[in-house]
C-alpha cells in the first residue's frame, strides 16, 4: 500500500466582500492614488481597508490527509464546510493559498455531470469531446465507445442525434457513463452518483464499486446521501469549518455525523467561558450530564438515572428563576420539556440571592427510549418580575446545548435488546407502565 | 475490465505557486482535445446557417469590394501597382485572421467559465484551438485569393508566384504568436474588467488603420516609419504582399524587429495568462 494522495497543511483563503471592484477605471484610480500616496477615492467610508484578517475567509484550514491506493473515501459535512473547495483544489481548478498536494497517478474529476457538452453536437461527438476534456485520447475513447453507450442505456440509433434533442436524464446518464469508462487511477466526484432514475443510480454505485475492486483505483466522493456513502465507501472523512473534524470507518463516521448536530462540542459538558449566555440578573456557566455515581457521561444505559447539572451565577439579590430543559430528537423534533417549577405554585417559589449555584435535574430511569437526544436550556423569571421579558435560551434557533445517547441496557435482557430484527418504530419515551391482564372468560 | 500495468506513473504536485508558463509536454498530451475543439467550433459554426462555409468567402469579398470602391476609386490611394481588388483582399484576409483570433482568445475565460470551473485541462488548449480554427478560415480565403490572382493574371496583370509562397506558413505562425500573446494578455484583463472587451473591439479597428492593410508601406513618409516599426503586424502584412507580389524590397531590419517584438509579446502574454488561470475562478 502506498499513498496516492498526500495533502499537507492545505489552506484556501477567500476574500470576503466585493472582489475586483467593477471597472478598470476605478482600479486604475485607486492605483494612481496609491502611487501618489493620496486617499483612495474608492475606499469604504471609514478610510482604508484594515489589513487584518477580518475580510478573509478560510474555506480550507490546514487540511492534512493521506489516501491509500484503492480506497473509496467519502467526504461528508454540512453545506459550506469546504468539501467542494477541497475537490476543486484537488482537481486543479483553483490553486491553494498554502500547503501542497502530491498526487501519484492519473486523476479524473467529475464535479458535474455533462460538463462541456455542446447541444449542437451529436451524442457520439460529445463522447469524444468529453473524453478529451478529461484527458483521454480519441483512440482510447474509441475502444470504450460501445461500453459507454451501452452503460448509459441510450439506444444506438439516438447516438447520432444532437444532444439538444436528448432528455435531461439522457444527458446526465451519458455524462456519467463517459466518466465511468475514463482511463484514470484516481476519480474525484462531487455528488454525481445521484443522477438519473433509481435504477441508474444503483447501476452507477455498482459501477464505482466494480472499477474500484477490479483495478484498485482510488475514489474520492462527496455526498449528502448517507445511503450511497454507506454502500460504497471504505473510509469517511467529516469536514467541518474547513477542517477535518474526524476520519475513520464508514459506519462509525456516518453515525456520528447523522446522529449529532452538536457533535463537534464536548459531549457530556458544555462550558461557556467568555460568551456565556446571560441576562441582567443571571449568567449561565455550564451544563453537563452524569450518572448517579457522578461519572460525567454522554452514553446512558436505559436503566440509569440521568443527572443534568446546570451551573449559573445570579447577579441580583432576591430573584426567582425557573429552569426548563427542552428535549429534541431526530434533528429538531421537540418532544418533551421538564420544568423545574411546574408542580409548584408561583408564590411558593423560593427566591435566590447573588452567588454561584449548581442545579441538578434527576431524570428517572426509563424516561427516554433509546436513541440520540439534544437538550436545550431555558431560564426565565416568573411573570410579574421586572426582568421577566429577559430569558436565557441556549442555543438560540438551533438545538443541542448538550447531547445524550440512550442505549439499550447491557445489564438486563429486555425483549427489545434481544429481539432479532430491527424495531419497526422508534418511540420517544419509555416509561415503565403497569400492564394488568386478567382472564375474564375461559370460553 | 483489465488495465495494463503502467510503466510510468504520473505525479502531480499542487502548490500555491504557478507552474512553468509553457508546459509543452502537457499541451501535447491534450492534442486530441485541441483537435476536437477545432472540429466542434467548425461544426457548430455551420449548423443552422444558410450559407455555411460561404460566410468565410463572402466576408473578404465584400470587404475588398467596398475598399476597392472607397479607397481605390474615390480616394485614389496607391496600391503599389497591384490591382486594387487583389491588394485589398490580401490585406483583409490576413487582418481578419489576426483580428478574429485576437477577439476569440481575449474572451477565452468569459466564454469558457462553466467548463473551466468544473474540469482541469491546460487552459492554453483553447487559445491554440482558436488559432487553428482561424487557420482554416484563412486557408479557405487564401485559396480564393489565389483564384483571383490567376484570374487577373489571365486578364493581363503580371504576377510571379514562386517558391516564396512557402514562407506564408511562417508569416502566419508569427501572426499567431502575436495574437496568442496579446489575446492571452487581454483575456487576463477582460475576465475581471468586462468593459475592456468593448474597448478591444474598437481598438482592433483603430489598429487596422495604423497597419498597412488598406495602403502600402511605401506610402508612409520616413517621419512616421518609427511608429510602424513598433507595430509588429505591419511587417507581417508587408512581407505577405512581398511574397505574393514582389512589389517592394524585402526589409530585413523591419522583419527582425517585428519578430523580436512578436516573441516578447508572446512570452509576456503567456506569463500573465499563466498567472491568472490559477486564480481566475475565485474572482470571475
Whether this prediction's pTM lies above 0.80 is answered by no
Report the relative pairing of strands A56-68 and A72-76 from DSSP bridges. unpaired
Report the relative pairing of strands A306-314 and A282-290 from DSSP bridges. antiparallel
Give the other-Cβ count within 10 Å of A178's Cβ.
29
- Could you tell me if residue B11 is inside a domain? no
pLDDT over 50 at A264, yes or no: no
Cβ neighbours for A70, distance < 8 A, ≥ 6 positions apart: A1, A212, A216, A217, A218
Of B10, B16, B192, the CB nearest to A106: B10
Nearest CA in chain B to A214: B1
**Fold match flag (A3-10+64-259 vs A269-410):** no
Nearest CA-CA distance, residue A85 and chain B, Å:
11
A115 touches B: beta carbon within 8 Å:
yes
DSSP letters, A48-95, are SPP-SGGGEEEEEEEEEEEEETT-EEEEE--TTSSHHHHHHHHTTSS-
pLDDT over 50 at A64, yes or no: yes
**For residue B89, what pLDDT is reported?**
92
Q: Which of A5-9, A108-112, A412-416, B43-47 has the highest mean pLDDT?
A: A5-9
Percentage of the residues of chain A whose pLDDT score is greater than 70: 86
pLDDT over 60 at A317, yes or no: yes
Cβ neighbours for A122, distance < 8 A, ≥ 6 positions apart: A159, A160, A161, A162, A163
pLDDT over 60 at A261, yes or no: no
Of A20, A92, A125, the CB nearest to B283: A20
**For residue A391, what pLDDT is reported?**
82
- Could you tell me if residue B77 is inside a domain? yes
Of B1, B2, B193, the CB nearest to A24: B193
List of chain B residues whose C-beta atoms are within 8 Å of the C-beta of residue A102: 11-14
In chain A, where the domains are located = 3-10+64-259, 269-410
Residue segments in chain B with a per-residue pLDDT below the cut of 50: 1-7
Give the other-Cβ count within 10 Å of B197's Cβ.
17
A385-434, pLDDT tens digit by residue?
Answer: 776 667 888 777 666 788 888 888 777 776 666 666 656 566 888 888 99
Strands (E), A151-296: 186-190, 218-222, 235-240, 243-248, 269-271, 282-290
Higher pLDDT, A145 or A19: A145
Nearest CA-CA distance, residue B162 and chain A, Å:
39
Question: Hey, are the CB atoms on A91 and B40 less than 8 Å from each other?
Answer: no
- Could you tell me if residue B81 is inside a domain? yes
List of chain A residues whose C-beta atoms are within 8 Å of the C-beta of residue B37: 129
List of chain B residues whose C-beta atoms are within 8 Å of the C-beta of residue A91: 119-120
User: Domain residues for B194?
Assistant: 24-283
Query: Average pLDDT in the A119-125 region?
Result: 88
In angstroms, rounded to a whole number, what is the distance separating the alpha carbons of residues B206 and B37?
A: 31
List of chain B residues whose C-beta atoms are within 8 Å of the C-beta of residue A136: 32
What angle is formed at CA B283 by the lines to CA B282 and CA B284, rounded to 5 degrees? Answer: 110
Question: Hey, are the CB atoms on A95 and B9 less than 8 Å from each other?
Answer: no
In angstroms, rounded to a whole number, what is the distance separating the alpha carbons of residues A62 and A18?
A: 25
- Could you tell me if residue B73 is inside a domain? yes
In angstroms, rounded to a whole number, what is the distance separating the alpha carbons of residues A109 and A105?
A: 13
Of A92, A120, A210, the CB nearest to B14: A92
Q: Which helix (H) or strand (E) holds B215?
A: none
**For residue B264, what pLDDT is reported?**
94
- Could you tell me if residue B17 is inside a domain? no
What pLDDT band is residue A31 in, cutting at 50, 70 and 90? confident
Question: Hey, are the CB atoms on A121 and B29 less than 8 Å from each other?
Answer: no
CATH homologous superfamily of domain A3-10+64-259?
A: P-loop containing nucleotide triphosphate hydrolases (3.40.50.300)
- Could you tell me if residue B116 is inside a domain? yes
What pLDDT band is residue A46 in, cutting at 50, 70 and 90? very low
A162-188, pLDDT tens digit by residue?
Answer: 888 888 888 888 888 888 888 888 888
**For residue A58, what pLDDT is reported?**
82
Nearest CA in chain A to B10: A105
**For residue B18, what pLDDT is reported?**
63
How many domains would you assign to chain B?
1
What are residue A308's DSSP bridge partners? A289, A361
pLDDT over 60 at A128, yes or no: yes
**For residue A418, what pLDDT is reported?**
63
Report the relative pairing of strands A107-110 and A186-190 from DSSP bridges. parallel
* B→A interface, C-beta within 8 Å: 1-3, 9-16, 18, 29-30, 32-33, 35-37, 39-40, 43-44, 47-48, 114-121, 189, 192-193, 195-196, 278-279, 281-283
Nearest CA-CA distance, residue B76 and chain A, Å:
41
pLDDT over 90 at A301, yes or no: no
Nearest CA-CA distance, residue A254 and chain B, Å:
27
In angstroms, rounded to a whole number, what is the distance separating the alpha carbons of residues A36 and A33?
A: 5
- Could you tell me if residue B3 is inside a domain? no
pLDDT over 70 at A233, yes or no: yes
In angstroms, rounded to a whole number, what is the distance separating the alpha carbons of residues B260 and B257?
A: 5
Average pLDDT, chain A: 81
- Could you tell me if residue B71 is inside a domain? yes
Given a contact cutoff of 8 angstroms between Cβ atoms, the answer to whether A324 and A337 are in contact is yes
List of chain A residues whose C-beta atoms are within 8 Å of the C-beta of residue B48: 120
Nearest CA in chain A to B4: A215
User: C-alpha distances in angstroms, A53 versus A16, A18, A49, A328?
Assistant: 10, 15, 11, 37
Percentage of the residues of chain A whose pLDDT score is greater than 90: 12
List of chain B residues whose C-beta atoms are within 8 Å of the C-beta of residue A211: 1
Least confident of A200-209, A327-336, A385-394, A403-412: A385-394
Domain A269-410 belongs to what topology?
A: Coagulation Factor XIII; Chain A, domain 1 (2.70.50)
In angstroms, rounded to a whole number, what is the distance separating the alpha carbons of residues A148 and A144?
A: 6
**For residue A93, what pLDDT is reported?**
87
What pLDDT band is residue A331 in, cutting at 50, 70 and 90? low
Amino acid at each position: 500500500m502506498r499513498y496516492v494522495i498526500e495533502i499537507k497543511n492545505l489552506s484556501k483563503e477567500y476574500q470576503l466582500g466585493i472582489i475586483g471592484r467593477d471597472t478598470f477605471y476605478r482600479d486604475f484610480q485607486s492605483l494612481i492614488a496609491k502611487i501618489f500616496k493620496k486617499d483612495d477615492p474608492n475606499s469604504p467610508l471609514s478610510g482604508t481597508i484594515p489589513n487584518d484578517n477580518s475580510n478573509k475567509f478560510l474555506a480550507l484550514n490546514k487540511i492534512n490527509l493521506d489516501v491509500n491506493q484503492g480506497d473509496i473515501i467519502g467526504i461528508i459535512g454540512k453545506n459550506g464546510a469546504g468539501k467542494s473547495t477541497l475537490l476543486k483544489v484537488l482537481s486543479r481548478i483553483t490553486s491553494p493559498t498554502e500547503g501542497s498536494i502530491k498526487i501519484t497517478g492519473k486523476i479524473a474529476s467529475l464535479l458535474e455531470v455533462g460538463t462541456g457538452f455542446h447541444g449542437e453536437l451529436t451524442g457520439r461527438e460529445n463522447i469524444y469531446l468529453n473524453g478529451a476534456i478529461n484527458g483521454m485520447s480519441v483512440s482510447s475513447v474509441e475502444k470504450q465507445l460501445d461500453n459507454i453507450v451501452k452503460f448509459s442505456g441510450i439506444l444506438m440509433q439516438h447516438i447520432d442525434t444532437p444532444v439538444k434533442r436528448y432528455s435531461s436524464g439522457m444527458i446526465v446518464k451519458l455524462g456519467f457513463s463517459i466518466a465511468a469508462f475514463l482511463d484514470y487511477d484516481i476519480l474525484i466526484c462531487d455528488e454525481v452518483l445521484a443522477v438519473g432514475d433509481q435504477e441508474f443510480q444503483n447501476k452507477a454505485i455498482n459501477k464505482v464499486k466494480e472499477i474500484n475492486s477490479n483495478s484498485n483505483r482510488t475514489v474520492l466522493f462527496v455526498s449528502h446521501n448517507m445511503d450511497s456513502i454507506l454502500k460504497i465507501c471504505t473510509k469517511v472523512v467529516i469536514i467541518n469549518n474547513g477542517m477535518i473534524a474526524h476520519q475513520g470507518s464508514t459506519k462509525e463516521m456516518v453515525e456520528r455525523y447523522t446522529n449529532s448536530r452538536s457533535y463537534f462540542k464536548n459531549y457530556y459538558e458544555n462550558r461557556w467561558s467568555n460568551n456565556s449566555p446571560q441576562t441582567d440578573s443571571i449568567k449561565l456557566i455550564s451544563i453537563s450530564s452524569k450518572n448517579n455515581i457522578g461519572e460525567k457521561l454522554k452514553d446512558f444505559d436505559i436503566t440509569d438515572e440521568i443527572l443534568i447539572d446546570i451551573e449559573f451565577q445570579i447577579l441580583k439579590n432576591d430573584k426567582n428563576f425557573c429552569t426548563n430543559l427542552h428535549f429534541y430528537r431526530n434533528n429538531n423534533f421537540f418532544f418533551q420539556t421538564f420544568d423545574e417549577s411546574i408542580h409548584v405554585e408561583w408564590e411558593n417559589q423560593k427566591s435566590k440571592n447573588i452567588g454561584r449555584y449548581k442545579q441538578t435535574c434527576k431524570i428517572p430511569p426509563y424516561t427516554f427510549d433509546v436513541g440520540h437526544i439534544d437538550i436545550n436550556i431555558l431560564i426565565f423569571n416568573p411573570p410579574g418580575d421586572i426582568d421577566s421579558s429577559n430569558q436565557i435560551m441556549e442555543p438560540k434557533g438551533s438545538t443541542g446545548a448538550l447531547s445524550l445517547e440512550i442505549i439499550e441496557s447491557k445489564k438486563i435482557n429486555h425483549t427489545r435488546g434481544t429481539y432479532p430484527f430491527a424495531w419497526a418504530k422508534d418511540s420517544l419515551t419509555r416509561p415503565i407502565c403497569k400492564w394488568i391482564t386478567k382472564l375474564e372468560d375461559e370460553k | 475490465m483489465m488495465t495494463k500495468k503502467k510503466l510510468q506513473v504520473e505525479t502531480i504536485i499542487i502548490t500555491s505557486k504557478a507552474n512553468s508558463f509553457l508546459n509543452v509536454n502537457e499541451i501535447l498530451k491534450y492534442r486530441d482535445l485541441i483537435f476536437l475543439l477545432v472540429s466542434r467550433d467548425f461544426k457548430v459554426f455551420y449548423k443552422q446557417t444558410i450559407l455555411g462555409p460561404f460566410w468565410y468567402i463572402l466576408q473578404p469579398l465584400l470587404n475588398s469590394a467596398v475598399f476597392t470602391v472607397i479607397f481605390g476609386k474615390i480616394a485614389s490611394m496607391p496600391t503599389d501597382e497591384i490591382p486594387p481588388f487583389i491588394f485589398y483582399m490580401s490585406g483583409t484576409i490576413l487582418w481578419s485572421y489576426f483580428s478574429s483570433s485576437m477577439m476569440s482568445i481575449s474572451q477565452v475565460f468569459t466564454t469558457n467559465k462553466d467548463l473551466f470551473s468544473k474540469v482541469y485541462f491546460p487552459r492554453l488548449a483553447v487559445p491554440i484551438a482558436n488559432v487553428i480554427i482561424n487557420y482554416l478560415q484563412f486557408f479557405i480565403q487564401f485559396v480564393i485569393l489565389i483564384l483571383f490572382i490567376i484570374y487577373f493574371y489571365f486578364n493581363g496583370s503580371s504576377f510571379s508566384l514562386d517558391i516564396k509562397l512557402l514562407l506564408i506558413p511562417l508569416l502566419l505562425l508569427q501572426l499567431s504568436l502575436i495574437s496568442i500573446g496579446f489575446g492571452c494578455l487581454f483575456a487576463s484583463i477582460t475576465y475581471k474588467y468586462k468593459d475592456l472587451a468593448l474597448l478591444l473591439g474598437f481598438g482592433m479597428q483603430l489598429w487596422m488603420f495604423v497597419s498597412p492593410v488598406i495602403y502600402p508601406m511605401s506610402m508612409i513618409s520616413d517621419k512616421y516609419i518609427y511608429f510602424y516599426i513598433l507595430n509588429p503586424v505591419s511587417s507581417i502584412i508587408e512581407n505577405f504582399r512581398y511574397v505574393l507580389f514582389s512589389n517592394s524590397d524585402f526589409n530585413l531590419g523591419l522583419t527582425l524587429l517585428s519578430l523580436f517584438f512578436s516573441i516578447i509579446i508572446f512570452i509576456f502574454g503567456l506569463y500573465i495568462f499563466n498567472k491568472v488561470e490559477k486564480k481566475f475562478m475565485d474572482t470571475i
